[in-house]
């Protein structure tokens, strides 16, 4: 079994620390900063062996260099963004695989938020690290790609088993859910989820990871009928 630890950093980022007890290996996914990640690992007696980046943005790669200096870990990230992530030791893209112990994740190309964005999917463990592509009740802004790309990404992710756990990189759930209700006010599952999220956030607790099943039922971007509808919803959310 893989143990996944959530580390809140900055204003709303999450770094994910993944540990395989059998091999003793530990991977940091999208470390925005270094110190909280190193401290969390040290508190558990873990040594960070690898970093996996999903895309080039600084709030996903900012801790790379310092963690590398402290641990001599191997840093993996998207081939298409290698020039923008100067700390990479290995680059990967669609169809490649990465490994922690005996656990193998397939690399998925999911461009749209950035041009070379990737995700890491463990099919056997039903886990996916999706960076800023899919959020709980949301999706990433279309900074470098198109609505058609994001639509294809979300349909591809929606096809995964419904109990697949989705580890995204931000705590955007409440604002996403409140906006979603303006689009699908009669969605009972959505209304119930937003109410639950409001209670969770009022207690200061995290709302992720999410699951594919939850997103199929309540994510208005995943539920969009086509790329044009997704684009309209994304533009409205950006302007909200």
Could you list the active site residues? 55, 57, 59-60, 113, 132, 170
Are 78 and 116 in contact, with CB atoms under 8 Å apart?
yes
Are 173 and 197 in contact, with CB atoms under 8 Å apart?
yes
Q: How far is CA 25 from CA 121, 186, 206, in A?
A: 18, 46, 25
Q: Which phi and psi (to 5°) does residue 22 adopt?
A: -65, -45
Task: State the sign of the Cα–Cα–Cα–Cα dihedral 158, 160, 163, 165.
Answer: negative
DSSP symbols for 173-234: HHHHHHHHHHH-TT-HHHHHHHHHHHHHHHTT-----EEHHHHHHH-TTTT-SSHHHHHHHH
């Amino acid at each position: 079994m893989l143990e996944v630890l959530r580390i809140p950093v900055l204003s709303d980022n999450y770094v994910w620390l993944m540990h395989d007890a059998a091999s003793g290996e530990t991977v940091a996914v999208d470390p925005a900063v270094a110190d909280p990640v190193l401290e969390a690992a040290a508190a558990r007696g873990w040594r960070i062996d690898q970093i996996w980046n999903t895309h080039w943005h600084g709030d996903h790669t900012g801790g790379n260099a310092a963690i590398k200096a402290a641990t001599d870990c191997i840093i993996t990230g998207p081939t298409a963004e290698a020039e923008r992530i100067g700390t990479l030791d290995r680059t990967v893209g669609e169809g490649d695989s990465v490994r922690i112990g005996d656990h193998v994740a397939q690399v998925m190309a999911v461009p749209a938020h950035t041009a070379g964005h990737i995700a890491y999917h463990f099919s056997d463990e039903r886990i996916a690290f999706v960076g800023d592509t899919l959020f709980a009740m949301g999706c990433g802004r279309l900074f470098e790609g198109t609505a058609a790309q994001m639509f294809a990404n979300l349909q591809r992710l929606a096809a995964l088993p419904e109990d697949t756990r989705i580890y995204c990189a931000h705590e955007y759930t409440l604002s996403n859910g409140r906006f979603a209700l303006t689009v699908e006010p009669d969605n009972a599952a959505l209304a119930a989820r937003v109410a639950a999220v409001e209670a969770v956030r009022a207690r200061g607790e995290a709302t992720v990871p999410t699951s594919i099943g939850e997103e199929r039922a309540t994510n208005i971007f995943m539920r969009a009928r086509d790329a044009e509808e997704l684009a309209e919803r994304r533009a409205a959310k950006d302007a909200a």
